[in-house]
Structure 1
Amino acid sequence: MEPEFWDKNPFKATAKAFPPGFHYKPTTILKTRTFYELILVDSNLVSIKHFKDPKDQTLNTHSTIQILKVLQPRHFGSDLNKGKRFSVPFDPVGYTYWDYVDAWTKVFWHQNTRFKHSWLIYFKTNTIYNFPNWFLQWWDFFGPIPEIFPETVQQGFSQFKKQHNSQESRIPADLKYFSSFALSWIFSWQYRYSKTEKTNQYPSLQRHAFVKWWTQFDSSKADPEQVKLWFQSHPEFLKAADPETSVFLNQKSHLAAFLAGSTSKEVLAKNLKEVLQMLQQEEEASSSKKEETSSAEEDEEDPFYQNEDDCFSICLD
């Protein structure tokens, strides 16, 4: 905090440094919070609603955001730096992929004049999300924490972790659980000053995040029984008893989707032939690998190899 911006009230301090409506560094004055909200809404990737105080129509008390889809770089286009135009008149006229990534953070930096604004964040039902890696950092800051889960959700999440194949997934279990069961939570933030050891030193300005459970959500939709039913419908995410079984289930899911895309009997017959050839090749490769492993095990059992450690540090010159 610089001396010229200092005020005991951190919101008044930021008002001295930032333009009206900004709660982040205004590197470009035209890239307002409204600009970032338009990026997400205009691309039909989220649904946002703002709710006003009945007694004061200028005051947004809270907002909701439903996450419909999160774009990976390959979905944006071959050139991430090439702008996409908005479907409505706006200045700037478009945005890059990097603006889109920034939008997921800066759209939430809205506050009302009472500094009591909050967001209800939730996912869409019956939707499988494929999150980009940068979204995992977003989840760490904006996502919920297990401490706020009601008892039913804690039990459901515990059951989910038992069955979820987390070793083969880069997506955290809690993000997968929330997005799969369309769970919701409340997010809000406030400015805070850090503590300083010296009385003559100005503290740094920090943004503190707060999350809590939305009590109106029907938590029975994510209880242990619903989790078990979900895994029955999505076996590709199920933790297998052993790695080979896990690979088999993933292959089974992919092959089923491949065959389902057949548009005629002829195409189906062709696809079946390709599948059989692929399985035969994998079986031959697996048999060859087992033979190599068996040969290596025989070498280890040979007394000649069992005493090889005795030869260490012996010079043959």
Structure 2
Amino acid sequence: MNRFKPLSEPETHSDYILTNRYLLLILENHILNKPLETQVGLIMPPGLNYFPSRPHTNIKFYETILVHTKSVQFEHFTRDNSDEISYSKFRIQKVLTPVEWCSLNNSIQHSPFMYQQMIIAKDKPAVTINYKDYMDAWRNVLFYQEPSTKHSWYLTFLKSVKLPLPTWFLTDWWTKFGPSTDIFPATVLQAYEKSNLSLFQFMHQYSIPWILRWQYATHEVTKNNLGSFTYLSQDIYCKWWDKFNCVFITKPTAPPTPLKLSEFPSLSSSFKDVVTKPKSQVESSSIPKTASTSINPDIAQVILDQLKQMHDMQNKLNDRLEQVESKCSSSNRSVSNRSISDDNIYAISDTEL
């Protein structure tokens, strides 16, 4: 499904930093003194680096699910004409919610955890899977490892990823495989601290990639009243991808230059000017030239539109005033020398205007 490509990109120079330690299980006494490779062989299923929730679910099965649902783009690279994968790319396109999973399988009325027949490969028969298998695909597919190579992953979020993501993805997958701010260069760390974003939001917004690698390890822990015990873990390491162009993140953005007061048209706030009946049409000569020559054309157009709206409103106000004066005259009340108060103006409703 995904052709293997020769590895042409050199290793990055940043150092790997331990970001998570995933506990597998406590080791029994009879295997404590054996080599790590032997311990792993006695504990983990053959050919797998995870405990499958159902039989016959290998890495290829999980990768096919993520490719079929258009959740992840995979690319695999080999080195020295070898068949063993040395480096892989993991571009995240989307993460399906339970509702989207049901909709994808035309079973919106059913639970996402009911098994459904799905054809995930054109040359293979349909398989029976559910949303739990989709979640397991995210959790397990990155635990790929060739026996004789130190495999690493290039991970990043594409702009197509829609938010918000399912809670399990953030609390499980992101907590396990997400990077730490410790991998950031100083300039990126400074930009992150000023952004007021969470680490996930920051990585998603700028599609920042990170490099991931993992390995088996054993750790001894001492607990009061319980003694000491040793457990097998998968230690996950991340580092910064040195080729990432972070200029657009770290480059300070200059604030827009505020417009000078003289660049705006001179509009009187006098109530007399508002109620004075204007000319029937807006004359182009009445608009200050600075509105079209000294400022942005888009802003000038907005000012022109606002001036026209003001003139239209003045016409409507004066028409309304004439109606009020006419009614007052018919009631034998003199209004010839009377000015209209602010209360009367505010009493004119938007509907009447």
After superposition, the Cα gap between the structure-2 partners of 1:31 and 1:127, relative to the gap in structure 1 and judged at 3 Å, is closer
Is it true that 1:143 corresponds to 2:175 in the alignment? no
CA offset at residue 107 of structure 1? 0.3
Partner residue of 1:80? 112
Query: How far did residue 156 of structure 1 move?
Result: 2.1
Counterpart of 2:166?
A: 132
Distance 1:177 1:197, change over 3 A: closer
Higher RCO (CA < 8 A, seq sep 6+)? 2
Q: Give the superposition deviation at 1:150.
A: 1.2
1:208 aligns with 2:235: yes
Give the C-alpha shift of residue 195 in structure 1. Answer: 1.3
Other structure's SS at 2:84 match: strand
Select 2:68's aligned residue among 27, 39, 42.
42
CA distance in 1, matches of 2:241, 2:213: 13
Cα offset, 1:4, TM superposition: 5.6
Task: Name the amino acid aligned to 2:88.
Answer: S
CA contact (8 A) 1:123 1:183 kept: yes
Query: RMSD between aligned alpha carbons?
Result: 2.8
Structure 1 residues 21, 87: closer, same or farther in 2, change over 3 A? same
Maintained 8 Å contact 2:179/2:210: yes
**How many corresponding residue pairs?**
217
Using a 3 Å threshold, how does the CA distance of structure 1 residues 154 and 197 change in structure 2: closer, same or farther? closer
- State how far apart, in whole Å, the 2-side matches of 1:142 and 1:87 are: 25
Q: Which sits farther off after the overlay, 16-25 or 178-187?
A: 16-25
Q: Do the aligned partners of 1:42 and 1:87 also contact (CA within 8 Å) in 2?
A: yes
Measured after TM superposition, the shift of residue 8 of structure 1 is: 3.9
CA 1:197–1:73: 2 relative to 1, 3 Å: closer
Amino acid at match of 2:202: Y
Of the structure 1 ranges 207-216 and 124-133, higher mean CA displacement relative to structure 2 is found in 124-133
| CA displacement at 1:104 relative to structure 2 | 0.8
Partner of 1:152: 187
Q: CA deviation at 1:106?
A: 0.2
Q: Which amino acid aligns with 1:98?
A: K
1:142-196 Cα offsets, whole Å, 9 max, x none, are 11111111123212212211xx5xxxxxxxx111111111110011111111115
In structure 2, how many angstroms separate the alpha carbons of the residues matched to 1:227 and 1:51? 41
Task: Provide the TM-score with structure 1 as the length reference.
Answer: 0.61
3-state DSSP class of the match of 1:203? Answer: strand
CA distance in 2, matches of 1:228, 1:14: 57
**CA distance in 1: counterparts of 2:160 and 2:112, whole angstroms:** 29
Unaligned regions of 5+ residues in structure 1, if any?
A: 165-172, 230-317
Q: Is the 8 A contact 1:185 1:213 kept in 2?
A: yes
Contact 1:122 1:185 (8 Å CA) reproduced: yes
Secondary structure (helix, strand or coil) at the match of 1:110 reads coil
Matching of residues 1-317 of structure 1 within 5 Å: 1-3=27-29, 8-55=34-81, 57-77=82-102, 78=108, 79-82=111-114, 83-88=116-121, 89-90=123-124, 93-114=127-148, 116-125=150-159, 127-137=161-171, 138-161=173-196, 164=197, 173-196=198-221, 203-223=230-250, 225=252
For residues 37 and 216 of structure 1, do their structure 2 counterparts lie closer, same or farther at Cα, with a shift above 3 Å needed? same
Q: Unaligned 5+ residue runs, structure 2?
A: 1-26, 103-107, 257-353
Contact 1:122–1:184 (Cα < 8 Å) also in 2: yes
Give the drift of 1:2.
Answer: 3.1
